[in-house]
Amino acid sequence: MSVSSALIVLDGSHGEGGGALLRTALAMSVLTQQPVRVDNIRGGTKFPGLDIEDLVIARALAESSAAEMRGADIGSNTLAFFPGRKAQGLNGRLGEGLADESRRPNGLVVMNCLLPILARAGMYSSVAVEGETYGTHTLGYDYFANVTLAVLKRMGLYAFCEMPRAGFGRESAGVVTLDVEPSAVEPISWMDRGRQRSLAGVVATAGVPDAIGSRGVAHLKALAKNAGMTISASHQRVSGGPGAYVTVWCAYDKGMGGGAAMGSRGVRIEALAQTAFEETYQWMSSSGTIDPYLADQILLPAIVAGGDSAFRVSKLTRRFVTSVWVVKQFVPIHITVKGSENGPGEVTVRKG
């Protein structure tokens, strides 16, 4: 990547103006060895300023790259990050000493941000994060384990996760671990999904009667049957909780996507199964080779891959478009996004 050493200054309220902008900026700073300052952190959200999830990520990346940071405090509106070396592997629990009983990081969001950096570090990494493993409108453990890592494996990035303890919500103290092998990331060309390989689902519960999980599995199977399909669904009792979470995903020769739903008081497990299944079915009915969530998660791996990538996404989110904008501030890479926000789109990443 052809880069300069000048400080890159970004407005954290640009586009979606959320945490994805900051995460992408920090990751690109480490990958390109360019210093960055983000002002108005999370300026497009109801909760501006650096939060604990951002700080866990920033500290991990700073340790990996021997970076100097300024403004690395909870609530800070500005963070300056100056990498001191190429990234090295990490080992141990991340974010120790940062515990906040009212809000903890989403462990999978942290892991996903670190993945492309650790994969290129040239050494084995083994890390753990305490916090949320299942949440509302965010990355959950079963999706990460069965979709995100499965697609990254097809791209030559080998990582393995476990969940010693589940955490339902941002106040919880779940634990997720991740092992990352040194990997040579390869591009993907997913413009046509090809043959359907599988349709699967997991109903994860903790601290509730097993009958609730069984009902969720039965409803997923009934929904699939009504749609003329067969689903491989299972109930998994996890430690921690109480809580319930349903994840559904579908794999093709050149495509993956899914949906998920988080339980809450008074909501029946059948309603969670319905939401997760319908979200997956909606993606399956589109021409997208990946779903909107996966687009966010494979952008940086596509950037560091050794070749050109192309894929179709069922819906272009403002978060994804914002992340593309951030990448372009660091490298003169050709990323073409065809389509309008909230509509289907085609993405190409050309390295030459």
Residue 3: band (very low, low, confident or very high) from pLDDT cuts 50, 70, 90: low
Structural domain containing residue 121:
90-185
For residue 198, the cross-strand partners are: 251
Domain count, the chain: 4
Helices of type H across the chain: 19-32, 52-65, 107-119, 141-143, 149-154, 210-226, 269-284, 292-304, 318-330
In CATH, what number is assigned to the domain containing residue 273? 3.30.360.20
Q: What is the overall mean pLDDT for the chain?
A: 95
Q: Are 229 and 248 in contact (CB under 8 A)?
A: no
Q: Indicate the residue among 46, 62, 87 that finishes a domain.
A: 87
Domain match, 52 and 97 both: no
- The last residue of a domain, from among 185, 210, 225: 185
Residues 82 and 40 in one domain: yes
What integer pLDDT is reported at residue 98 of this predicted model? Answer: 77
| pLDDT at residue 286 is higher than 90 | yes
Answer yes or no: are the C-beta atoms of 314 and 344 closer than 8 Å.
yes
**CATH number, position 33:** 3.30.110.150
- Clarify whether residues 104 and 174 are in a common domain: yes
Q: What would the pLDDT profile of 102-138 be if each residue is shown by its tens digit? A: 689 999 999 999 999 999 999 999 999 999 999 999 9
Cα atoms in the 13 Å half-sphere on the side-chain side of 45: 19
Contacts 24+ apart (CB under 8 A), 224-228: 224/199, 224/277, 227/281
Q: Are strands 91-94 and 125-131 parallel, antiparallel or unpaired?
A: parallel
Answer for the pair 247, 166: CB distance below 8 angstroms, yes or no.
no
pLDDT for 4 beyond 60: no
* CATH of residue 318: 3.30.110
Angle between helices 292-304 and 19-32 (to 10 degrees): 10
**Shared domain check, 196 and 173:** no
Indicate the residue among 62, 87, 112 that finishes a domain: 87
Beta pairing class for 334-338 and 345-350: antiparallel
- By CB atoms closer than 10 A (0-12, 13-18, 19+), residue 79 is buried
Contact 147, 294 (CB under 8 A): yes
Q: Are residues 217 and 260 in the same domain?
A: yes
162-186 pLDDT, tens per residue?
A: 999 999 999 999 999 999 999 999 9
Place of tokens 């990035």: 157
265 and 196 co-located in one domain: yes
Structure tokens at 66: 């021997």
pLDDT of amino acid 2: 45
pTM over 0.75: yes
Residues 333 and 321 in one domain: yes
